[in-house]
């Protein structure tokens, strides 16, 4: 599905605080066979795939029938609870789903069947953050008397009645690295003369002719699962996986997509009228594009639309304008139609909007879950679904990635440039410690570039929750319970390269701060994680292997913290300064004291010309992050003066 909900922050938010529009959903494999259970579930390996098969028979028009069979062992009662209700999703407009058999298999060989004739299609659970307007349906298998040691068994037939691309095949799947998979195999049967291109990692492939058809097979097993597999990249980048398609290259795929989506950008009288209204009195073409961008971003509500072909092919721009909502593809075609009405060219661009950084050799929809726009006249990529991003600024997860331009002109496979220098955050906190151990003060957070997108989204979240409620929740999450409030420099949707949020706080008394117990330098109402986090990796993942690639960005984060100590108390000792450098990053912390005021300045700067940290760059960054995390553990300890004690 293109326009799958995605995380826009990449782990940048301060603990406990969530953006109004930041959300994530696990990528789903294009098969029901081997669920990618979470790392937490896989840690003690309570679930085992005994057998998983998938056999697909494809016709020349691109329709197919897939027969799936799975046998999954629940080793514990908790695992049985996790898989006891097994939902199978499908598009009512494009697919038919039939369950041939399903039963609980007991260790003694008894079969407890599900009455498959009684299973009714139902609406799937929707997201609380994004309304899901769709034709998706579910048939839920509820396995009877399921307990630890039992196996769930099912055979399912899925018929694709209407392919997205007539006469073409796009299929793929990935597999968990933390779950035992005894045997997973499948096949795709295609008519001769219908070539299939296969890419695979971590599995074996074979093919043979059978009469007037060609049978392509794949097989995978994972008999030694990992206890944990900590990673920041999508499973389509790094897990065992395969992709199958009849498109020979990305140019042919892009041309097919462009032909199907082009009618949606028709300039109707209503589109023309809206474009003229938005740009009234403005003749500069870039200003016109910026005005149209801002209007679409602020007036068209983002919703996930999974209506038949609408999960891949956009709806008509005129309908999106009338409805006032749409998904990422709909945003892109409405933006494109309004631009076309003013004679400005644009192209829909398919991209992975979450954690995927690579594309397979041959086309696949599995890693392409988002759509943005390319403006060739201004050489800019823009994303109206970000809502509050300044014109020409993208969310972090979109920089440096391979993309597919929906065009018939060729050269479809390109790359978004990496983030240029100039983006960053500055946090300034001024706090005062009272004689009762209470803290009060003010925090000002300023951000530029993609950081400002995140800060604006957090500001929207603050507005939705309420200033005081959001401050109270944030202080609680940061371990300093208290009260406070936020104020914004301007509306989150106001244009401009910078954005600022001010938080005022009064934390509850903690007398132990005055009795020698060590405490961290107060960060106040911080909205971003500590300096040194995110740009070159996450501080909170010390166990992630230093050979594991991580997203990396050029940028700068800094903070200035000051704490006024109460009269009658002095600092036992000032923490040591630190300087940590590699070829791609520099971190420094500096402590100082002037009378009763203690100050801390931290600064982190990264400069890198690639989207991923790999090899020696990643190893050096991982080592530096461990040292930075250690520096953040520095604490202050107060001692009472003799007079105060008396």
Q: Which domains does the chain have, with CATH numbers?
A: 39-233 (2.60.40.3140), 254-415 (3.10.620.30), 424-645 (2.60.120.1130)
Q: How far apart are CA 27 and CA 7, in angstroms?
A: 12
Give me the pLDDT at residue 642, please: 64
What's the average model confidence in pLDDT over 330-357?
Answer: 97
Give me the pLDDT at residue 150, please: 98
Give me the pLDDT at residue 517, please: 86
Give me the pLDDT at residue 315, please: 92
What's the average model confidence in pLDDT over 282-291?
Answer: 98
Q: Where are the alpha helices (DSSP H) in 285-386?
A: 285-299, 317-323, 328-341
Q: Which H, E and C letters describe 521-554, residue by residue?
A: CCCCCCCECCCCCEECECCCCCCCCCCCCEECCC
Q: Which H, E and C letters describe 373-442, residue by residue?
A: EEECCCCEEECHHHCCCCCCCCCHHHCCCEEEECCCCCCCEEECCCCCCCCEEEEEEEEEECCCCCEEEE
- Strands of 402-405's sheet, edge to edge? 380-382, 370-375, 347-351, 402-405, 413-415
What is the per-residue pLDDT across 195-254, written as a single tens digit (0 to 9) for each? 999 999 999 999 999 999 999 999 999 999 999 999 999 999 999 999 999 999 999 999
pLDDT at 32 over 90: no
pLDDT at 644 over 60: no
Q: What is the pTM of this model?
A: 0.90
Give me the pLDDT at residue 425, please: 98
Instruction: Kindly report the backbone phi and psi dihedral angles of residue 616, in degrees, each rounded to the nearest multiple of 5, phi listed first.
Output: -65, -35
pLDDT at 126 over 70: no
pLDDT at 29 over 80: no
User: For residue 120, with 0-12 CB atoms within 10 Å meaning exposed, 13-18 middle and 19 or more buried, which class applies?
Assistant: exposed
Place of tokens 């230093």: 546
| pLDDT, greater one: 643 or 94 | 94
What's the average model confidence in pLDDT over 501-521?
Answer: 94
pLDDT at 79 over 70: yes
Helices (H) and strands (E) in the chain, counts: 12, 34
pLDDT at 292 over 50: yes
Give me the pLDDT at residue 4, please: 60
pLDDT at 18 over 50: no
Q: In this predicted structure, which of 65-69, 123-127, 337-341 has the lowest mean pLDDT?
A: 123-127
| pLDDT, greater one: 273 or 37 | 273
Give me the pLDDT at residue 91, please: 87
What letter would DSSP give residue 6?
A: -
Give me the pLDDT at residue 305, please: 62
Q: Cβ(492)–Cβ(459) under 8 Å?
A: yes
What is the per-residue pLDDT across 528-540, written as a single tens digit (0 to 9) for each? 989 999 999 999 9
What is the per-residue pLDDT across 153-201, written as a single tens digit (0 to 9) for each? 999 999 999 998 999 999 999 999 999 999 999 999 999 999 999 999 9
What's the average model confidence in pLDDT over 270-284?
Answer: 98
pLDDT at 128 over 90: no
Give me the pLDDT at residue 330, please: 95
Give me the pLDDT at residue 92, please: 87
What is the per-residue pLDDT across 363-398, written as a single tens digit (0 to 9) for each? 999 999 999 999 999 999 999 999 999 999 999 999
The 10 Å Cβ neighbour count of residue 273 is: 12
Q: How far apart are CA 184 and CA 65, in angstroms?
A: 19
Residue-averaged pLDDT of the chain: 91
Place of tokens 């062992």: 73
Q: How far apart are CA 575 and CA 479, in angstroms?
A: 21
Q: Give buried/exposed letters for 538-569 (b at 16+ CB in 10 A, else e).
A: bbebeebebebbbbbbbbbbbbebbbbbbebb
């Amino acid at each position: 599905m293109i326009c799958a909900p995605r995380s826009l922050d990449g782990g940048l938010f301060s603990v406990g605080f969530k953006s109004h529009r930041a959300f994530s959903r696990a990528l789903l494999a294009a098969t029901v066979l081997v669920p990618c259970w979470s790392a937490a579930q896989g840690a003690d390996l309570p679930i085992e795939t005994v057998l998983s098969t998938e056999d697909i028979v494809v016709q020349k028009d691109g329709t197919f029938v897939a027969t799936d069979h799975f046998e999954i062992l629940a080793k514990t009662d908790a695992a049985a609870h996790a898989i006891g209700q097994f939902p199978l999703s499908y598009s009512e407009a494009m697919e038919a789903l039939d369950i041939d058999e399903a039963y609980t298999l007991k260790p003694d060989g008894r079969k407890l069947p599900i009455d498959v004739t009684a299973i009714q299609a139902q609406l799937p659970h929707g997201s609380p953050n994004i309304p899901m307007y769709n034709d998706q349906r579910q048939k839920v298998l509820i396995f009877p008397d399921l307990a630890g040691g039992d196996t769930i068994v099912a055979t399912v037939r899925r018929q694709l009645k209407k392919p997205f691309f007539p006469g073409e095949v796009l299929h793929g799947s990935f597999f968990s690295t933390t779950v035992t998979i005894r045997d997973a195999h499948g096949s795709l049967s295609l008519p001769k003369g219908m070539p299939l291109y296969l890419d695979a990692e971590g599995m074996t492939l074979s093919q043979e002719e059978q009469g007037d058809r060609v049978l392509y097979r794949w097989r995978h097993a994972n008999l030694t699962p990992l206890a944990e597999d900590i990673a920041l990249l999508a499973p389509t980048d790094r897990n065992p996986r395969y992709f199958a398609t009849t498109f020979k290259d990305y140019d042919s795929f892009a041309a097919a997509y462009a032909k199907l989506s082009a009618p949606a950008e028709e300039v109707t009288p209503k589109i023309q009228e809206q474009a003229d209204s938005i740009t009234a009195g403005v003749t500069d073409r870039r200003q016109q594009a910026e005005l149209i961008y801002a209007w679409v971003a602020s007036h068209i509500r983002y919703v996930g639309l999974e209506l038949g072909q609408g999960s891949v092919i956009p709806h008509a721009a005129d309908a999106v304008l009338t409805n006032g909502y749409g998904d990422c593809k709909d945003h892109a075609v409405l933006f494109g139609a309004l631009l076309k009405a003013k004679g400005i060219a644009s192209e829909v661009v398919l991209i992975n909007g979450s954690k995927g950084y690579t594309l397979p050799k041959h086309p696949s929809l599995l890693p392409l879950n988002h759509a943005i726009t390319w403006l060739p006249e201004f050489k800019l990529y823009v994303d109206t679904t970000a809502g509050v991003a300044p014109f020409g600024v993208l969310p972090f997860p979109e920089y440096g990635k391979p993309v597919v331009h929906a065009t018939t002109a060729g050269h479809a496979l390109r790359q978004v440039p990496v983030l240029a220098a100039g983006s960053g955050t500055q946090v300034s906190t001024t706090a005062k410690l009272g004689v009762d151990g209470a803290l009060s003060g003010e925090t000002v957070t300023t951000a530029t570039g993609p950081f400002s997108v995140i800060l604006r989204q957090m500001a929207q979240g603050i507005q939705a929750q309420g200033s005081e409620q959001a401050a109270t929740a944030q202080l609680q999450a940061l371990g300093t319970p208290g009260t406070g409030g936020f104020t914004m420099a301007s509306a989150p949707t106001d244009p401009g390269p910078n954005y600022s949020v001010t938080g005022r706080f009064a934390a509850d008394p903690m007398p132990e701060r005055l009795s020698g117990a060590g405490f961290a330098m107060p960060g106040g109402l911080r909205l971003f994680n500590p300096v040194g986090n995110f740009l070159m990796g996450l501080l909170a993942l010390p166990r992630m292997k230093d050979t594991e690639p991580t997203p990396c960005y050029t940028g700068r984060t800094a903070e200035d913290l000051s704490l006024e100590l109460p009269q009658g108390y002095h600092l036992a000792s000032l923490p040591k300064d630190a300087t940590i450098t590699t070829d791609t990053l520099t971190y420094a912390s500096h402590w100082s004291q002037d009378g009763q005021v203690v100050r801390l300045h931290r600064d982190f700067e990264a400069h890198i010309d690639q989207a991923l940290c790999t090899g020696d760059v990643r190893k050096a960054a991982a080592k530096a992050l461990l040292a930075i995390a250690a520096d953040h553990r520095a604490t202050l300890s107060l001692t009472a003066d003799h007079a105060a004690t008396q």
